[in-house]
Structure formats: structure tokens, C-alpha cells
Amino acid sequence: MEEFIVARNPDKTSSLPFLVHLPIDGGLWLKARDSWPRTARVYCHPADDVDIDRLEIVERVGVLACVRRGVAIDLVLERGVNRRSQFVTTTARGRRMVLWQTQKVATSARPGVRIPSAAPSPLAVIFIDTRERYGYTFAGHAVRVERRALSAGDYAVAMGDSYAVIERKRLDDFASSLSNAQLGYTMAELALLPAAAVVVEGTYSKLLRLPHAPTGYLADLAARLQVRYPTVPIVYVESRKLGQEWSYRFFKAALAREESPELELRPEPRSTEPPKPRRRRTPKRGTATDATPSG
């Protein structure tokens, strides 16, 4: 099993006394201010090549998951307490930094404030499939709408060489596509895209009460598809207006994540230029440094 490792930093001159190892990208080492974010976020910095055989190991724990998600790495350990944490990049005073946090310390540090994880969305145009009748207009949002023949879904935004896509269904259409198995083929295609969702204009409670279908039958079919294609969420909204609003925010979030830089934990190359001499400040006249010693 892959391991999460905490060791003491052999560099006694460093202000970061610990080293932590993440089993991702072939193994990543970070210098850290503490061995775990118990009461506050822990500042981290990329470490140079580390010889593990020469380290004083503090603890080694099995890892259940270590997954990169945009500007964050989610870590889940195989133990009862202190299991979940996250390494997040942010910018402070013009430079990027890595902060190690848990849900508890992120909430208690500054309630209601989170580390920004994405740049403002560059959402400018949303494509609507030419076969979509009475489609969303996204009125009230600063976005242009264009009609285009889409190979999948009813609405899409460009994401590099691919698309983020939404399949819109009225409740009766959703029920019909569940019954005839059409929705399964649609979700299989949506699952190949970097971001996709199915928006159902109708509540889940109404799906359970639809006539001409055994109680729970359609809900069971929807649940099976959701388990089969977990990357394509099925979202139930109360009205067309809310479906449009949810779709806009989904596209906005998808593009913001696409524009965010990946979390880079490799140490930066050291500069070969000599450090610039520090300018010495001249004390002002009349200060204590100008006084003549007594005696």
C-alpha cells in the first residue's frame, strides 16, 4: 500500500522542521511547518530531492486516496482520526504558496472564508444545439448564445479541445428516456467529456409519483444510471428558470477550473545569480543612534 510519510527535516537551519511525502506523481516531498494541521493551516514549500534512508521518520500511514483535483490534492489516510486533509495552492502578497488544511481548521480559522481555488470564469459564449426547442436564453447573464449542431447534449461550452455539456430534460421526457433506455446511451457519451450533467426540470418527489409506472421503478432506473456513470450528475430542479441558472453556474465553474493552474509541488530551480546587496538605511538625525554615550 502507498504511504504518507512524516519525517524530521534534516536541515536544521530551515524554519520548516518537517518533511511530508505524498504518493502522487511518482512521489512528492514538501517541507512543512507542522506534522499535521491540528489547530491552523500549515504552510508548506516544495522540497529538493530527499534521501528517505537518511531521514528520522516520525510516522508512516497507509493511504486510501491521494487525488489531484485542479489546484488541490485531497488526501485520505487509513486510520481512525486525522484521516482527511487537503493541500491547496493560493496567492498571498503576489506569490503562490501551498497550505495544508483540514475541514476543521479551515472553518475555525476564519469562519465563512475559504481559500480561492479558481480564477474568474472566462465564460463568454454558450452553444445551444440546433434541435433544442424553446431553449434557455441565459438572460440576465453576460454571455452570448449561439446555435450549433452538437454531437452530445443540448448546451455546451468549449473547454480546450473538448466541451462541457448539459443534457436538459423535462420530467416527462426524462421518464420516457429512462423507460426506453435511451438515457443510458446518452450518459455513456457524456461520461467521455471533461464535465457533463443531466438537468431534469422537475422534482424527485414527482418522479416517484408519475402515473403509468410502478412505484419506484423510474427512480430505481435513475439510481442505476447514476451509479454506472458517477461523473455525470443527474440534477433535479423545480423550474425551467432554476434549470437555466444551475446550467449557467455549472458552465462557469467548469471553465474556471479549466483556467486554474495545476497544483505544482516541484521545487523551483535555484537562481545562479548572486544575491543583491541589501541597502543600508541611514538613521535620521536626532534618533537614539546619534546620542553620545554618557560617562
For 143-164, the pLDDT digits (tens) are: 999 999 998 999 999 988 889 9
Taking residues 254-267, what's their average pLDDT? 62
Sign of the CA dihedral with 250 first, then 252, 255, and 257 last: negative
pLDDT digits (tens, 9 = 90+) for 107-117: 775 544 455 54
Beta strand 95-101 with 195-201 is unpaired
pTM over 0.85: no
Between the CA of residue 230 and those of 126, 168, 226, what are the distances in Å?
Answer: 24, 18, 5
pLDDT digits (tens, 9 = 90+) for 83-128: 999 998 877 667 778 999 998 887 775 544 455 544 555 789 999 9
